[in-house]
């Protein structure tokens, strides 16, 4: 495994429809994921929103960006 790599090992769906994912990562990546998770929680707390609300907001922003990308003329993307 490379340094700073995260590898998806397995994806399963349980009886309730939840997706369970297993990852393999080096120590540095594991530390980074913990720091990102803590930062995310701190931002949610500072904004007084739940993690679910934050993911909904992020999802809507991703959808908007995707719509903008799809509307672009494909020839405009070629430098």
Q: Give residues with Cβ within 8 angstroms of 50, minimum separation 6.
A: 44
Considering the domain architecture, whether residues 2 and 34 belong to the same structural domain is answered as: yes
Considering the domain architecture, whether residues 2 and 18 belong to the same structural domain is answered as: yes
For residue 42, the SS3 value is: helix
**Model's pTM, two decimal places?**
0.66
By the 10 Å C-beta count (0-12 exposed, 13-18 middle, 19+ buried), 54 is classed as middle
Tell me which H or E stretch contains 13. Answer: strand 6-13
Give the domain range for residue 17.
1-47
Considering the domain architecture, whether residues 11 and 42 belong to the same structural domain is answered as: yes
- For 5-62, the pLDDT digits (tens) are 899 999 999 999 999 999 999 999 999 999 999 999 999 999 999 999 999 999 999 9
| Rounded to 5°, angle at Cα 37 from 31 and 42 | 125
The pLDDT value given to residue 35 = 96
């Amino acid at each position: 495994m490379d340094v700073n790599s995260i590898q998806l090992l397995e994806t399963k769906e349980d009886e309730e429809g939840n997706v369970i994912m297993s990852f393999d990562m080096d120590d540095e990546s594991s530390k980074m994921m913990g720091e990102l998770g803590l930062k995310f929680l701190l931002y949610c707390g500072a904004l007084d929103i739940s993690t679910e609300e934050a993911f909904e907001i992020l999802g809507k922003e991703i959808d908007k960006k995707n719509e903008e990308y799809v509307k672009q003329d494909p020839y405009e993307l070629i430098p």
